[in-house]
Structure 1
Amino acid sequence: MRTLILSLFFLSTGIFCQAQKLRLSVAGLNHGHVGWVLSSMNRGDYEIVGISESNRELAEKYSKQYGFSMSLVYDDLNEMLEKSQPEAVAAFGDTFSHLAIVNAAAPKGIHVMVEKPLAVSKEHALEMKELANQYGIHILTNYETSWYPSNHEAKRLLESGEIGDVKKVIVRDGHRGPKKIGVGPEFLEWLTDPKLNGGGALMDFGCYGANLMTWLMNGERPISVTAITQQLQPENNPKVEDDATIIVNYPTAQVIIQASWNWPIGRKDMEIYGETGAIFADNRHQLRIRLAEGYDGFDERTFQLQELPAPYPDPFLLLKAVIRDEIQLPPFDLYSLENNMIVMDILQAAKESAETGKTVYFK
């Protein structure tokens, strides 16, 4: 229903064609997903007014590839924000820099969108939240799975009661590892650095499951977290773990998060088990639902889903709509700060559990 309302709203107002472009700046170019914002800058809904990047060679490479002027590039983040006067900044650097970006942007009333996860630690996340509250800015966290139609249909089916109350959720995310899939050297350098990334696979892919479960549970806080990590590719990831299993317990449910740089194939999938059936979000577009019949029988239906209506499938359109007060995110939305603060609670507890070998209980 929410997506239908949004679709009708944008169609009726023609807002994408008529509204003034969002003045967007980019902080950092060493994130492997930065091509997303650079490749979409000519479509008309936003304009890049400034870029901060101290690596001049990297900036020049992207300038040639995407056709932006090097006059947009500043070595210093604060100078870029001061001179370009953006409405929002999209963070495409290492995760450790997220706090510094919010520190620079918030006092100027500039909104921030970061690539997942929100921060490297709960300490950083709390400082970011305080700045957002103090200066009245939005901080959104972008995950690829936030706009998967399969995940949204899974939540709708769960809330319809078709499989009963949720009892167990299994979320699997990851790939063969950053080095094996050939990420750029500037991305690999910080992605495998425990300070700049906050960890390895646990942070890189564990955040997806924590984000989705917080959304499915409507913001309910867990009781405890138990985690085990391994380093199965020491030759490729010498400083960080590359495999993590995180068990998050709730009063009436449990999520098992399997985050790994050791899958033979890339994957982002989720299984939801209720009292009378199960939902399988196999990938972005395919979803299956199984309803139990007898002891081990079931009736299965498969759905091939269409993309969500605008603006949700596009983080930059969504950022613009939120800033311009054209939509208000529902409580504990996948992009929301309140959701991602709980994500940081879970990730922080998972790191502590893996280090100590003990279950971490929430107060």
Structure 2
Amino acid sequence: MTAPARPSGAVLGLGMIGRHHARILQSHPDLRFAGAVDPTGDRYGAVHDPSRLFGTLDELLEHDRPDFAVVAVPTEEHLPAVRALAAAGVHVLVEKPLAASGAQARELIAVVRDAGLRGAVGHVERCNPALLDLRRRLRAGQLGDVFSITTTRVGPFPDRIRDVGVVKDLATHDLDIVRWIGGAPVQRVSAEVEHRAGREHEDLVLAVGRLTSGTTFACTVDWLSPAKVRRTRVLGERGMLVADTLAADLTFHANGEASTDWAPIQQFRGVSEGDTTHYALERREPLLVELETFAAFAMGDDEAEVVTLEEGLEAVAVAEAALDSAQRGETVQCGP
């Protein structure tokens, strides 16, 4: 079977992330926009052709069955949306978190598998140029032995969120980054959460843990900070790599080689400060890269580096372990 020259994609949900998927699909020269579904309408004016806006999935499918669809509806609606798309033979890119619970995530995976379709998860940070280059440098051994991975993801509360707390909505990014960069599953996690905004769900989490490789990690995530920060720091025996994913910047702080005979400094300094290098990176929009990669995967490219549904399940499972840890006041084991 020959893949179509221009794979067609649709978007379910035109909220904060879905509208950007629609923008890219409508402007990409190698992809075709089949349409968007949102029962509340197109409040952001994302769809250029009104005939491509539908109130229900059935209406879209009657008009133009896409090759793949982006599921960007609220998290609790992911599973029913994927069921309907799978029944129509449509490949799915599901926005993170994969599902509202581990049980729903496992059912979603089974639905896609049983339909013989391809699916992936929209952990878009894996397409950020700063993190891609950081990971490449780690795999090349630039830091030597890796000691710890630390992430910070804080900022004001987004009005778009109603169905999950900060752990499943945002910390799933960081828990996935830690596992992806560290190259090993999370072995155990300990977390504390806060409820400061008067909502049912938590709005701050501090999580620490260890990967099965022995690397430690710490994640700070909240919806309470007045300034938006997105930073990943990896510390190793030869220095530290710091990625600012808002600016797509990567900086290397090397351990210094200069010695000192000043006794107090020798005692307390640890390593000395070395050179700092700010890398020049090729910057492409991460969401654009994600869509291109998934379209290739959906059309049969097994080499396309998507975030698998199983990896999406793992992020949800570790997020649930963090919430369990906070509730019980204990460290929770996640794996061997």
Common fold: TM-score over 0.5: yes
1:177-196 alignment, distance < 5 Å: 177-179=157-159, 187=160, 191=161, 193=162, 196=163
How far has the Cα of 1:358 moved from its partner? 1.8
2-structure distance, mates of 1:245, 1:28: 31
Any idea what SS the aligned residue of 1:81 has? helix
1-structure distance, mates of 2:228, 2:286: 26
Q: Among residues 226, 239, 258, which one is paired with 2:200 in the alignment?
A: 239
CA contact (8 A) 1:148 1:307 kept: no
2-structure distance, mates of 1:322, 1:164: 33
How far has the Cα of 1:231 moved from its partner? 1.9
Deviations 1:53-104 (A, max 9, x none): 222xx33x445x64221x3333332443354211111112111111112111
2-structure distance, mates of 1:357, 1:173: 23
How far has the Cα of 1:154 moved from its partner? 1.0
Partner residue, 1:134: 114
Distance 1:263 1:82, change over 3 A: same
Partner residue, 1:38: 22
- If you compute each CA radius of gyration, which structure gives the higher value, 1 or 2? 2
2-structure distance, mates of 1:312, 1:54: 24
Identity among equivalent positions (%) equals: 21
- Does residue 1:297 correspond to 2:259, yes or no? no
Distance 1:160 1:42, change over 3 A: closer
Deviations 1:197-229 (A, max 9, x none): xx31112210111111121233x2222111111
Partner residue, 2:326: 354
What is the alpha-carbon root mean square deviation over aligned residues?
2.5
1:69-148 alignment, distance < 5 Å: 69=50, 71-148=51-128
Distance 1:163 1:39, change over 3 A: same
- Does residue 1:54 correspond to 2:16, yes or no? no
- Does residue 1:276 correspond to 2:238, yes or no? yes
CA contact (8 A) 1:215 1:339 kept: no
What TM-score do you get using the length of structure 1 for normalisation? 0.80
How far has the Cα of 1:320 moved from its partner? 1.4
Partner residue, 2:176: 211
CA contact (8 A) 2:194 2:203 kept: yes
1:140-179 alignment, distance < 5 Å: 140-179=120-159
Partner residue, 1:3: none
2-structure distance, mates of 1:149, 1:37: 19
2-structure distance, mates of 1:268, 1:160: 24
What TM-score do you get using the length of structure 2 for normalisation? 0.86
Q: Partner letter of residue 32 of structure 1?
A: M
CA contact (8 A) 2:125 2:286 kept: no
Higher helix share: 1
Gaps of at least 5 residues in structure 1 are 1-17, 180-186
2-structure distance, mates of 1:93, 1:312: 17
Partner residue, 1:14: none
Q: Partner letter of residue 136 of structure 1?
A: G
1-structure distance, mates of 2:285, 2:196: 41
Partner residue, 1:287: 250
Deviates more, 1:112-121 or 1:299-308: 299-308
